[in-house]
């Protein structure tokens, strides 16, 4: 049923109204002349309404002459008439074509370049490199040679261990994985010293090469030589330069101070929000003000309304100034609780500072109250390797 309708639509048909007295004869003649009529409807005694194909409508003329009735064309339907109409309205057709061409063209451009996973190499730097290869916003996406781009970036930045270039719609995504940088190694044959990289008390020195310059219990400052690569003989002036190597374990301390007021004022949002809109064109802006801000204490928050979810810088912006009403509240906290939370905070902070190989020896926590403040002082003593290689000059 549907296919027949679709076929009829494609071929085109007309709805006609026939007036006359011998309509049955008309129907019989049409049928015997092989003119296909469908959806015949009796409107009243002298009128019939029906559908007929374009070809059939031409053939009907003879039948009409024979029967002697009047034919009135009511409606033209179907694809051929649509095409005809389009021909009459060329600009409309042109508009259609331009519209589709524009959509196709715009969707084949790259509108956004995203770099994911880079930590040490700046995104701008990668984008700059791409720009040199003529890859930037607004180029046709079919021109991007992904393999070439991957090779180029991998070659340029040694730090990338993995790189993939993907185009999704109008977005170019560059996903990278950076490898962990190996520490700068000094060649084994180059003479060097081992110096302290921080202040500490020496616990143990194990020298695999070179001469130990400090002993247990020595307090060393940053930069002090711990194992020297210069070996001199007591009996001669000849100095030998070697590549010093070894571990220097020293006691070092890390401290952290946390302060927290006992009575503190907290700004609590009441939930009341007052909005002001601003239309910004270029540098200039117009603010739409309706009365004063009805709050005494408030926090201002400026937000941009993005009309399109695009990363494009449009010259026209709509800004919303949101004023949130706040109320200051004084809260008195429990001293014991503050002590505990300060302690936890300080230890967490210290843990970030500690090198992973450090061994914690002792922890000292001090609390004291000063001018409405609980001050917590945490000192952690650890034993760690403080040796660092330094070239001899």
Partner 1 sequence: MDNKVSNLKYNISEALELPKDLVLDLPKIVMIGNIQINISNHKGIIEYTKEVLRVNSTIGIIKISGTNMELKTILSEEIIVKGNIEKVEIIS
Binding site for partner 1 (CB under 8 A): 23-24, 27-28, 30-32, 34, 36-42, 45, 50
**Would you say 382 and 189 are in contact if contact means Cβ atoms under 8 Å apart?**
no
Q: How far is the CB of 77 from partner 1 (least distance, A)?
A: 17
Q: How far is the CB of 28 from partner 1 (least distance, A)?
A: 4
- For residue 85, give both structure tokens: 């109409």
Q: How far is the CB of 40 from partner 1 (least distance, A)?
A: 4
Q: How far is the CB of 80 from partner 1 (least distance, A)?
A: 22
Nearer CB in complex with partner 1: 30/196: 30
Q: How far is the CB of 62 from partner 1 (least distance, A)?
A: 16
Nearer CB in complex with partner 1: 35/192: 35
**Would you say 201 and 248 are in contact if contact means Cβ atoms under 8 Å apart?**
no
Nearer CB in complex with partner 1: 38/99: 38
Nearer CB in complex with partner 1: 27/338: 27
Polymer length in residues for the chain: 393
User: Would you tell me the crossing angle of helices 2-11 and 79-88 to the nearest 10 degrees?
Assistant: 30
* Residues paired with residue 73 on neighbouring β-strands, in sequence order: 16
Euclidean distance between CA atoms 150 and 162, whole angstroms: 9
Q: How far is the CB of 47 from partner 1 (least distance, A)?
A: 11
Task: Report the first-to-last Cα separation within the chain, whole angstroms.
Answer: 96
Q: Closest Cα to residue 383, out of 257, 198, 185? A: 198
**Would you say 139 and 110 are in contact if contact means Cβ atoms under 8 Å apart?**
yes
Q: How far is the CB of 31 from partner 1 (least distance, A)?
A: 5
Q: Provide the greatest CA pair distance for the chain.
A: 144
What strands, in cross-sheet order, belong to the sheet with 387-391? 211-212, 225-228, 192-196, 387-391
Q: How far is the CB of 81 from partner 1 (least distance, A)?
A: 22
Q: Quick check: helix, strand or coil at residue 21?
A: coil
Classify the phi-psi angles of 340: left when phi > 0, otherwise alpha if psi is within -120 to 50, otherwise beta: alpha
Could you give the dihedral angle defined by the CA atoms of residues 188, 193, 195 and 197, in that order, rounded to the nearest 10 degrees? -30
Could you give the dihedral angle defined by the CA atoms of residues 41, 45, 46 and 50, in that order, rounded to the nearest 10 degrees? 0
- Rounded alpha-carbon distances, angstroms, from residue 63 to 32, 51, 59, 71, 377: 10, 16, 7, 11, 111
Nearer CB in complex with partner 1: 40/139: 40
Contacts of 237 (CB under 8 A, 6+ apart): none
Nearer CB in complex with partner 1: 28/190: 28
Nearer CB in complex with partner 1: 6/31: 31
Q: How far is the CB of 140 from partner 1 (least distance, A)?
A: 54
Element of type H or E holding 66: helix 54-67
Nearer CB in complex with partner 1: 42/146: 42
Nearer CB in complex with partner 1: 13/160: 13
């Amino acid at each position: 049923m549907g296919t027949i309708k679709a076929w009829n639509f494609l071929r085109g048909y007309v709805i006609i109204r026939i007036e006359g007295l011998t309509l049955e004869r008309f129907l019989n003649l049409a049928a015997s002349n092989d003119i296909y009529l469908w959806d015949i409807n009796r409107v009243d005694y002298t009128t019939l309404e029906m559908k007929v194909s374009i070809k059939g409508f031409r053939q009907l003329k003879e039948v009409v002459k024979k029967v002697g009735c009047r034919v009135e064309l009511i409606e033209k339907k179907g694809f051929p008439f649509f095409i005809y109409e389009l021909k009459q309205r060329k600009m409309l057709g042109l508009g259609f074509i331009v519209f589709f061409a524009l959509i196709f063209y715009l969707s084949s451009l790259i509108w956004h370049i995203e770099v994911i996973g880079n930590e040490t190499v700046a995104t701008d730097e990668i984008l700059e490199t791409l720009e040199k290869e003529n890859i930037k916003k607004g180029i046709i996406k079919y021109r991007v040679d992904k393999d070439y781009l991957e090779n180029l970036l991998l070659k340029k930045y040694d730090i990338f261990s993995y790189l993939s270039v993907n185009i999704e719609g109008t977005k170019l995504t560059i996903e990278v994985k950076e490898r962990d940088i190996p520490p700068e190694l000094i060649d084994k044959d180059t003479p060097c010293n081992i110096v302290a990289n921080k202040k500490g008390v020496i616990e143990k020195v194990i020298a695999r090469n070179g001469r130990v310059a400090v002993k247990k219990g020595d307090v060393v400052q940053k930069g002090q030589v711990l194992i020297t690569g210069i070996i001199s003989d007591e009996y001669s002036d000849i100095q030998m330069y070697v590549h010093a190597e070894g571990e220097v374990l020293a006691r070092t301390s890390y401290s952290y101070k946390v302060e927290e007021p006992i009575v503190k004022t907290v700004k609590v949002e009441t939930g009341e929000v007052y909005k002001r809109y601003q239309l910004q064109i270029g540098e200039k802006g117009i603010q739409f003000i309706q009365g004063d801000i009805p709050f005494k204490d408030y926090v201002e928050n400026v937000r941009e309304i993005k009309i399109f979810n695009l990363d494009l810088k449009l010259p026209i912006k709509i800004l919303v100034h949101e004023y949130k009403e706040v109320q200051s509240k004084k809260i008195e906290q429990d001293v014991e609780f503050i002590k505990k939370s300060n302690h936890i905070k300080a230890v967490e902070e210290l843990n970030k500072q500690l090198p992973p190989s450090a061994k914690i020896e002792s922890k000292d926590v001090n609390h004291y109250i000063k001018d409405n403040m609980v001050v917590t002082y945490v000192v952690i003593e650890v034993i760690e390797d403080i040796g660092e290689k330094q070239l001899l000059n």
